[in-house]
Structure 1
Amino acid sequence: MPLVDLPLPALERDADTPLAVQLAHALRTAARAGAVRVGDRLPSTRSLALDLDVSRTVTAAAYDQLLAEGWLAGRRGAGTFVVAVPPSVTGPRGPVDAARPARARATGDAAPIDLRAGMPCVAALDRAAWRRAWRAAADEPPDIRPDPVGLPAFRSAVVEHLLRHRGLPADPGTVLATGGTTAAVGELARILPRGAAVAVEEPGYQRAVEALRSGGLEVVPVPVDGDGLVVDALPAGLSAVYCTPAHQFPLGARLSAARRVALVARARTEGFLVVEDDYDGELRYDVAPLPLLAALGPDVVVHLGTASKLLTPTLGVGWLVGPPDVCTALVGQRDRAGVRPARAGQRVFAELAGHGDLGRHLRRLRRELAERRRAVVAAVADAERQILGDAAGAHVVVPLASASAEESVLATAAADGVTLDGLSRHHSGVPSQAGIVLGYAGPTRAELDCALPAVTAVLRAAG
């Protein structure tokens, strides 16, 4: 049925709410009322814009929002289809009834809804731009010899990205392509003296911890608090400090300005290297980010970034910005060990950046994740729980009273068809904190809305 025949309310052109937001809301309402059903094909954005006498930008933005939420799906050569109906936002929902949609999903053929942290929001990807970038990347001839540094186009794209989105002026000569942050940590471990001590955040990113240990280094856990890594707790005799200052993983704190200055000062005085993992630093929803450690101390800081959280791990690429001597040592090691960052992902990233698609994706991603975060925060508040961390990234932490409470929540949620992540496993030593690390980027919006009532119920039942 043509959409113009539906009883849509008139768009209010003088309202504070953007027209695209109004149109997306009207489409959701029509779907809830049964006027649009699963399997229906919607008009093209062009024809809908003509029918509603609005710009095509309005209709395209509304469709993009519903595509990101998971209610619509585009089929190449066929159009845009309704694939799910948004749940009603009215009516009482008790904790038992609220868990039923997720439980029914788990007991059926579908896989559990995965709310673990660390996954990208691939629903926000513009699939047309994605395909276009891959086609353009495939136009390049096959490589004849390996490249230990990275494609010039990729490194230039990284320099532009860091300047525009992270405020870091970088020289292309100090930028290396990597296989991602964990791979880069593993490479850095191999250029440090074997058996050297490296401080890591506790709790922290355990894949980086394992990469350091695999490189023959001694890992020294250092506590974190509401201001990030406790710099005063760093012991003497370190060769490096690994940290996530923009959005501490997993607790979500931002390293304070005073501690940033103190950390760089100690690195210079004591001669250790600071490894800054900026895995999701582009994703802030409250205030502007503080200056990167690499901007404060380019002589002692190695800055790491990745496309895996911003786009998808399919690309298998990241970047490293470091002091010249560190870059030289890494390139020499790559030559000796035969390590070569994959070029296909570099080409795709450069194409996305070069045509403005990366910037548009980041803006769309921030909007989408900010809305998802609000929904998660509301669900946790309904359970009368608090969250830790800044309004940033793609996960929150819900503290719990004990390890047994954490285990109970994980098990109950799994029985209800929702996979959660516990805070205990993010410790290098004996866990000192318990809680749930709740990610909201990986599932579709429909899956997230289906799972959150169950999350509320299990958190409330934890006592």
Structure 2
Amino acid sequence: MRVGSDLHLELAGPGSRRAALIRALRDAVRDGRLTQGTRLPPYRSLAADLGLARNTVADAYAELVAEGWLTARQGSGTRVAARATPVAPVAPARVPKKAPAHTAPPAHNLRQGQPDAASFPRAAWLAAARRALNAAPNDAFGPGDPQGRFELRHALAGYLTRARGVRTDPGRIVICAGVGHALRLLFGGGVLRGPLAVESYGLGFHRSVLDGASVRTVPLTLDEHGARTGELADLKGVRGVLLTPAHQFPTGGPLHAKRRAAAVDWARGRGGVIVEDDYDGEFRYDREPVGALQGLDPDRVVHLGSVSKSLSPALRLGWLVLPEHLVGPVLAAKGEREAWTSVLDQLTLADFIGAGHYDRHIRRMRQRYRSRRDHLVTALAQHAPHITATGIAAGLHAVLRLPPGTERSTTKAAAWQGLALDGLAEFRHPAATMPADDGLVVGYATAPDHAYRAAVEALCRALPPL
């Protein structure tokens, strides 16, 4: 469409002329008459054509820009937003009950919790798999060990001791299918019982697993130093706490040393247990490494980890590092062989770690993710200097602090930009009493390299103005 060309719009329906114009422009985008990238007439021209006041058209354009339907840049005019055209609502089709539901993927993915799938080290993993298969003893193809292959437990004991400061031996490690599986073994299997203290902001799947096990959770207040573990002493009947001490999820930052010590002292005094989710402890950028909390007291801390952030969640490989007295109960809870992870994948990971490929992969991805983090921070400084990114010294995500009252509208604007991300409110415990902050949780690891810059550009377009 050329500047000043005709645009047919039906200004009908209830409400003001401004509301009718907004509704008509949305409809034109929905039904495809205004396609992505189409340049709209200047608001003065459209006002003259429709017999409206200039301010009415200008306000309508501004509203649709804020909602993500349109973009406006100096020198480029107002256009239909690229990759933001929503699908027109249609009546649901009748399909067989067992037919899978298919939804179009977002144009950009900045959700937290996933590594860059394109960066999986295929060649090194394949080489490790071949070596592991050739060297596998015959008993590897038998019923197996519910605790996991010794080769992997031995490799993990060495790696976790060296890289994360964990104090363990292979006999205290149980292999599982990930942190969710580990929590189900601990709480669904009756090894540990509630009520359980948790952080006021945390991973939703933690709460869903605990809810499924009928475990009541009690939120601890958070601040810039992590969970206020001093509050544990005032919680009646609570003998367990779930923490993310290396990099609090999602707000960022390590648990302060004094609060680590306070949590351990509480567990010792009450005969309690600390469950530590070390979900991305290997990825740090601007600070000294923060060791695992388990190193302070291996008899009071259950250390959980997996390769979901470092390699891929598709591998379904995780581990529990347990106090000695909990190994037997966890193995009893594990039960049937169908809950065990693939022996061949276990042997492959053991070789991958032993040959040094895991360390090299972590170092390579640490550099890549740091570069992405730096690009996000630079883009914010250029396009949205009033938005602060926090929790960026480590991990695979950042929290963008938003002006009060803008989180919902910003996530809506992001959706119109074809952008998948989460608001901070999604991770807030429903019983939390601390003041709620507005923010976005932006994962900078998920998108592949070739798509990352476009995703950040879409993010900047969605952010509220100063």
TM-score using structure 2 length: 0.73
The number of equivalent residue pairs is 369
For residues 187-229 of structure 1, give each alpha carbon's deviation from its aligned partner in whole angstroms, at most 9, with x where no partner exists.
1113547862101111111211111121121111112111111
Per the alignment, residue 67 of structure 2 pairs with: none
Q: Distance in 1 between matches of 2:77 and 2:304?
A: 41
Letter matched to residue 159 of structure 2: H
Counterpart of 1:48 in structure 2 is none
Q: 1:374/1:100 Cα in 2 relative to 1: closer, same or farther (>3 Å)?
A: farther
Equivalent residues of 1:137, 1:347 under 8 A apart: yes
Q: Deviations over 1:372-424 (max 9, x none)?
A: 1101112222312112224101000012234x521211121121121111111
Could you tell me which amino acid in structure 1 is paired with residue 82 of structure 2?
R
Q: 1:370 corresponds to which residue?
A: 370
**Match of residue 168, structure 1, among 166, 169, 191:** 166
Asked whether the equivalents of residues 102 and 454 of structure 1 are also in contact (C-alpha less than 8 Å), the reply is no
- Aligned partner of 1:394 in structure 2 is 396
Measure the CA separation in 2 of the matches of 1:224 and 1:170: 30
Q: Secondary structure at the match of 1:189?
A: helix
Aligned position for 1:182: 180
Q: CA deviation at 1:430?
A: 5.8
1:350 aligns with 2:372: no
Partner of 1:209: 207
User: Which residue is 2:379 aligned to?
Assistant: 379
Distance 1:447 1:106 in 2: 19
**Is this contact kept in 2: 1:267–1:300, CA < 8 A?**
yes
Match of 1:63 in 2: none
**Which whole-Å CA distance do the structure 2 matches of 1:291 and 1:206 have between them?**
24
- Equivalent residue for 1:417? 418
Q: Deviations over 1:99-128 (max 9, x none)?
A: 999934878998411100001123333321
What RMSD in Å do the two structures reach over aligned CA positions?
2.7
* Cα pair 1:102 1:418 within 8 Å, conserved: no
Secondary structure in 2 aligned to 1:397? strand
Cα separation, 1, equivalents of 2:202 and 2:117: 25
Q: Do 1:242 and 1:276's aligned partners in 2 also have CA atoms closer than 8 Å?
A: yes
Amino acid at match of 2:349: F
Change (3 A) 1:448 1:335: same
Residue equivalent to 1:438: 442
On the 8 A contact 1:180/1:319 being kept in 2, the answer is: yes
CA deviation after TM superposition for structure 1 residue 143, in Å: 2.6
Q: Does the 8 A contact of 2:190 with 2:333 survive in 1?
A: no
SS in 2 for 1:351: helix
1:121 pairs with one of 116, 124, 127: 116
Rounded to whole Å, the distance in 2 between the matches of 1:437 and 1:422 is 6
CA–CA separation in structure 2 for the residues paired with 1:193 and 1:149: 15
Which one of 103, 110, 132 corresponds to residue 82 of structure 2?
Answer: 103
Q: In the alignment, is the contact (CA less than 8 A) between 2:253 and 2:394 conserved in 1?
A: no
2:46 is aligned to none
What letter matches 1:113 in structure 2? H
Cα shift at 1:337: 8.7
Deviates more, 1:359-368 or 1:214-223: 214-223
Task: Please tell me the residue identity of whatever aligns with 1:196.
Answer: G
Shift of 1:95: 8.9
- Distance in structure 2 (CA, Å) of the matches to 1:99 and 1:302: 56
1:6-44 C-alpha deviation (Å, 9 max, x unpaired): xxxxxxxxxxxxxxxxxxxxxxxxxxxxxxxxxxxxxxx
SS at match of 1:411: helix
The alpha-carbon deviation at position 444 of structure 1 amounts to 1.1
How far is the alpha carbon of 1:96 from its aligned partner? 10
**Structure 1 residues 194 and 183: alpha-carbon distance in aligned structure 2, compared to 1, 3 A threshold:** closer
Q: Which residue of 1 aligns with 2:23?
A: none
TM-score by length of 1: 0.74
Aligned to 1:200: 198
Contact 2:191-2:333 at 8 Å conserved across structures? no
Assess, with a 3 A threshold, how the Cα gap between structure 1 residues 100 and 150 changes in structure 2: closer, same or farther: farther
Q: Which residue of 2 aligns with 1:151?
A: 149
Query: Does the C-alpha gap of structure 1 residues 333 and 112 become closer, same or farther in structure 2, counting only changes over 3 Å?
Result: same
93-102 or 405-414: bigger deviation: 93-102
1:446 CA displacement: 1.9
Q: Percent identity?
A: 35
Partner of 1:228: 226
SS of residue paired to 2:314: coil
Instruction: Summarize the alignment of residues 254-269 of structure 1 with structure 2, pairs less than 5 Å apart.
Output: 254-269=254-269
